[in-house]
């Protein structure tokens, strides 16, 4: 019985850790639902001094990206709720919980790859100076997010 409780608690801790990651679905979905124009890096591209053709291309990339990730985000959110419901079952086989975590992890990895590809794609339409500023701002926002979530130690 103690072993089962330990496994369930361990799975819960792992789930909580996943929930708090920067690119987690909570972050992506909350940004989508809040109406922010970008969910893949910067909230505001004005500091990049984009030319009209760059701005147009960026809007198209963001629209395409948002349409692509919305169903992925919703799937992850739904599966995480299923996981929590599974963990609430006192008679659940820990192997089933682990299997669900693996399933969610595979979907999450796909989302991470899609997001990384999108950020890299944005970099291809920027000048070297704009690209440098873009990635500097992404680093700053990531550092701020890490610090706000109580993981400042990771920044040292």
Give 54-89 pLDDT, tens digit per residue.
Answer: 999 999 999 999 999 999 999 999 999 999 999 999
Find how far residue 87's CA is from the centre of its chain: 23
3-state secondary structure of 68: helix
107 pLDDT above the threshold of 60: yes
| 24 touches 18 (CB < 8 A) | yes
1 pLDDT above the threshold of 70: no
33 pLDDT above the threshold of 50: no
Residue 45: phi, psi to the nearest 5? -95, 5
Please report the pLDDT score of residue 8 as a whole number.
52
Q: What is the pLDDT of residues 20-32, one digit of tens each?
A: 443 444 454 544 4
Right CATH for 2-36+49-149 from 3.30.479, 1.10.3470, 3.30.530, 1.20.120: 1.20.120
**CB neighbour list of residue 61: distance below 8 Å, 6 or more residues apart:** 118, 121, 122, 125
| Mean pLDDT of the 48-54 span | 92
Q: How many percent of the chain have pLDDT more than 70?
A: 72
Q: Distance between CA atoms of 33 and 42, rounded to whole angstroms?
A: 16
8-state DSSP, 124: H
Q: Which pLDDT band, with edges at 50, 70 and 90, does 146 fall under? A: confident
Q: Where are the domains of the chain?
A: 2-36+49-149
Q: Taking Cα atoms as reference points, which of 30, 37, 33 lies closest to residue 60? A: 37
Tell me the CA distances in angstroms from 14 to 80, 101, 144, one per residue in order: 12, 9, 23
16 pLDDT above the threshold of 50: no
Q: What angle do CA 155, 108, 104 make, to 5 degrees?
A: 120
**pTM of this prediction?**
0.69
100 pLDDT above the threshold of 70: yes
| Mean pLDDT of the 129-134 span | 92
3-state secondary structure of 46: helix
Please report the pLDDT score of residue 127 as a whole number.
95
């Amino acid at each position: 019985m103690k072993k089962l409780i330990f496994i369930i608690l361990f799975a819960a801790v792992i789930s909580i850790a996943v929930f708090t990651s920067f690119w987690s679905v909570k972050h992506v979905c909350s940004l989508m639902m809040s109406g922010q124009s970008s969910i893949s890096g910067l909230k505001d591209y004005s500091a990049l001094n984009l030319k009209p053709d760059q701005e147009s291309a960026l809007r198209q990339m963001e629209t395409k990206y948002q349409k692509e990730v919305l169903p992925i985000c919703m799937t992850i959110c739904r599966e995480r709720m299923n996981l929590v419901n599974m963990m609430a079952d006192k008679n659940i086989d820990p192997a089933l919980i682990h299997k669900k975590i693996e399933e969610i992890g595979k979907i999450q990895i796909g989302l991470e790859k899609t997001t990384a590809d999108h950020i890299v794609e944005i970099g291809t339409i920027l000048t070297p100076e704009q690209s440098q500023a873009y990635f500097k701002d992404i680093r700053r926002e990531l550092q701020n997010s890490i610090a706000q979530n109580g993981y400042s130690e990771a920044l040292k």
